[in-house]
Structure 1
Amino acid sequence: MLTGALIGPVLAPDQSETPILRLFWLPAYALTAGLLLLRFETVVKAWPAWLALGSLVVLAFASTQWSIDAATTQRRVVAMTINGSFAIYLGSRFHDIHLPRLLACCALIMGILSVFIVFAVPSIGVHSDVNAGMWRGIWYEKNQMGIAMAAGATAAAAWIAAKDRLSITPIATILLCLCLVLATQSKTSLLCALIGISIVVALSVLKRAGPALIIVAIWLGVICLAFGWWLWSTESGEILQALGKDPTLTGRTAIWDALFRKIDERPWTGYGYNAFWGKGSEPAAWIRHQTGWSVPSAHNGWIDLLAQLGWPGAVLVGTIVASSYLLTLIRLPAAGLREGFWGVAYLTVYLLLTLSESVLLSAQSMPWTLCLAILARAVYPEPRPQRAMLAPSRRAAYQTGSRIASD
């Protein structure tokens, strides 16, 4: 449900927010509350994650005071609070490889369902509009399937790395996810999947390497990142053309230019949490008029966040995401090994995804949910190693005990 799969495309093909879709979330909310109560002693240990979620909820709820659609903002704050709580439950309850394995199995099931829908009901599984012929499976759009499959492929690679041996299920998951990403023709999703798998493989190789190789690898990594940043800063247009992409990022730059003009009108407050792109939104209507097409979102998580909550919201979310990444890196030698380096691989992919998709502080979204779950895993206290009980020493033959009487 957090990926937006199946239920929405079947019950609301036009992507409208209908009352029946809200009813489907009520059992999920009740189940979340039950799980939190059942595992209260476990989830409360991730208290820094609860503080982070609480600060986000307070800011988002405060935005109802200036929101251009206060009713929508209030409703989405409730959804964000409950789904954020579920994310912390996931991170607190499923440690080590258990969460990546769960995610990989879910991706495998959704991938098989997508293949079935594509051939059984192509009107749902295949785009027939401007993206005609591109697969979208059990989702509304091809990008949604691409994001879900990229996350599934990364999780399956971590599953293999943690077990340190090849297994049929994670290998099948990786192959299916990559095939479906290719069927979407989403270059961003393909890049995310390849980067996620590459990070897991690279760290697994370094795990077996000596200190000298690790130092050389880090040095080469820094050099490559610096060179890549310089190349992108100077030749971004030519790189995009070589990749078959429009230098304007399929009209995204025009959207961003228009959005920044609206953001400048409310730089410190924004237009309210999840209120900017509503049907009756005048700022959104102005954006669509300026760009000449029905823009659904900013196609950039950070710009979208500025439009919703202004600079305070962007700084707060940026601090939380950066803290998650830093803490995950610190725990890499211990927890990272046990989870197959999934946390750092996913967060890297997630940060890349925020530059082209609106996946930050979402009310109901798998990418943001997993980001909060990783934060909960990062702040959750490590279990103390249990010391083995030493067997009592035996006396040698004819050895007597102490002759000194005790008090």
Structure 2
Amino acid sequence: MTASPLPSLTETDPVPLLRGTLQAADRALIFAGMLLLLEVAKFLTVGNTEAVDLTGAGNPVARALWYPLYFGLILALGARISALLRVLVPAWPIFALLGVTAASQIWSVAPEVTSRRVVAVTFTALFGIYLALREDRLDTLRTAGAAMLAAALFNLGTVMVRPGVGIDHVDHIGAWKGIMVEKNALGGEMARAGLVLAWLAHADRRWRTLWMAGFAVAVLLVLGSTSRTALLALALPMAAFALYLLGRRSPVAALGVFYLAVTAAGAAALYVWLAPEQAVGLIGKDLTFTGRTGIWDACMTKILEVPWTGYGFGAFWVEPYGPSYDVRVQVEWIVPSAHNSWIETGLALGFPGMVLLGVLVVLALARSGLAVLGGATPWIFLGLMQLTLFSMSESLIFWHPNTFSCTLFAFYATLALMPAARRQKKPGA
């Protein structure tokens, strides 16, 4: 038998399949939610030229765009309440992390900002869980992929039709940024979209040509962004999947792939050890990761001042003369974030938050790896590896609503439910 292209839960139906108008509404919710996460809706209303928001107030129009999604999500989860209750225990790291996040309003240095951002990240997590709870796994992936394809085309159109907006003419002259605020944001989102579209090209034979074309657009945008990190984050999973397909041909091929992978990993580790400066130069960085190490050192010092609580979710960078002042003085520029998801979580929630996020990611990687050994294709594992790579140099995971946070929660909830699906299948087998 060939491996299933998706870690399917369609063996069991937690709730009856939605039909007709309800199913259309279900898809519309996913499509709209993804467009919000990909900042298409924001661009159409307030543009991409907003200055860095140090007050945490954000744009009230942009915030208001999310309210219909929240309402629709409440209704959709209400229709799946029994399935939602079943995921509470197996997905406990998600809810524990959300609990600590909500509690941080008590000690936050900017409680009003924390309250707003707690709501935003909670609904981002619930949206990810909702994607995992949907009965038709392929339909969910198709709808999310369609939104990513639409966003990719919108970004490409902005570059071509409005180069004054879609191309950077200030900081990174000539680099594409599309509808995003800067080039790395475009590269990161299109690397994520590229992986999902490649997944669909493998899983969905009916629309394979469309998804392959979308993948090509995503690759073009990654190249245009000139983000080497994004290019690496897309190229490595694609190379790994190619090796996976090669290894499935025969036991001899599998042994050869294993030998090749171990040799390549060893050679890469040796290269980094012997020539670290040249190694990081391959992704356009220096040994300070373009100044990030200085930011990390300064932020870790601030974490150690309140190691068990942090400064409240989303609150550290709000006040210009608050706790972030020392960091900005030390690095000598108005840094807007820690440029590292783990350190950002530490600033928000202290070591407890860092540990819970670590448990969530490690368990997800372990479960997805075991799923691959059990016969599933490696797309979730590759997606998690991509997330982990981005988390090292950017504040993306569990900080504000985006596709990275959403897919992390969706992947974990999917993996948490997979053993239950297998157990439910056995009695009827």
What TM-score do the two structures reach when normalised by structure 1? 0.87
Q: Is the 8 A contact 2:91 2:412 kept in 1?
A: no
Q: How does 1:382-397 map to 2 (within 5 A)?
A: 382=421, 384=425
The residue number in structure 1 matching 2:254 is 214
Deviation at 1:243, TM superposition (A): 4.9
Matched pairs, number: 384
Q: Which residue of 2 aligns with 1:307?
A: 347
Q: Secondary structure, in 3 states, of the residue corresponding to 1:275?
A: coil
Residue 251 of structure 1 deviates from its aligned partner by 1.3
User: Which residue, out of 150, 153, 157, partners 1:109?
Assistant: 150
Q: 1:232 to 1:158 in 2, by over 3 A?
A: same
Q: Which residue of 2 aligns with 1:224?
A: 264
Structure whose CA Rg is larger: 1
1:106-165 deviations in whole A, cap 9, x for unaligned?
Answer: 222111111221233333212232123211112122122111111111112222333579
Where in structure 2 are there 5+ consecutive unaligned residues? Answer: 1-35
What does the per-residue CA deviation read over 1:180-229, in whole Å, with 9 as the maximum and x for residues that have no partner? Answer: 0011100000111111222222222323x223332342343234324323
Q: Check whether the contact 1:306–1:313 (CA below 8 A) recurs between aligned residues.
A: yes
TM-score scaled to structure 2, two decimals? 0.82
Contact 2:38 2:151 in 1 (8 A): no
| Shift of residue 329, structure 1, vs aligned partner | 1.6
Q: In 2, distance between residues paired with 1:244 and 1:49?
A: 40
Give the direction of change, closer, same or farther, for the CA distance of 1:10–1:295 in structure 2 (3 Å limit).
farther
Match of 2:384 in 1: 347
Deviations 1:232-284 (A, max 9, x none): 23422122235543332211122112222222222222211111111445222
**What is the alpha-carbon distance in structure 2 between the residues aligned to residue 60 and residue 136 of structure 1?**
32
Cα distance per residue 1:44-75 (max 9 Å; x no partner)? 33233553222112111222222211111121
Aligned in 2, Cα 1:191/1:37: closer, same or farther, shift over 3 Å?
same
**Residue 83 of structure 2 corresponds to which residue in structure 1?**
42
Mean CA deviation greater in 174-183 or 142-151: 142-151
% same residue: 28
Structure 2 match to 1:4: 39
Q: Find the counterpart in structure 1 of residue 240 from structure 2.
A: 199
Runs of 4 or more, structure 1, over 6 Å off, are 385-388
Greater mean alpha carbon deviation, residues 277-286 or residues 56-65: 277-286
Q: What residue ranges of structure 1 are gaps of 5+ in the alignment?
A: 389-407
In structure 2, distance between residues paired with 1:103 and 1:142: 23
Report matched runs for 1:4-403 at 5 Å: 4-8=39-43, 10-11=45-46, 13-15=49-51, 16=53, 17-48=58-89, 50-93=91-134, 96-163=137-204, 167-207=208-248, 209-280=249-320, 282-333=322-373, 336-337=376-377, 341-380=378-417, 381-382=420-421, 384=425
Asked if the contact 1:68–1:281 (Cα under 8 Å) also holds between the matched residues in 2, the reply is: no
Question: Cα–Cα, structure 1 residues 242 and 32, in superposed 2: closer, same or farther, change >3 Å?
Answer: closer
Contact 2:247–2:255 (CA under 8 A) maintained in structure 1 = no
Partners of 1:268 and 1:9 lie apart in 2 by 41
CA distance in 1, matches of 2:332, 2:74: 44
Once the two structures are overlaid, the 10-residue window that deviates more, 328-337 or 298-307, is 328-337
Shift of 1:366: 0.9
Q: Is the 8 A contact 1:157 1:200 kept in 2?
A: no
Contact kept, 8 Å, 2:246 with 2:257, in 1: the verdict is: no
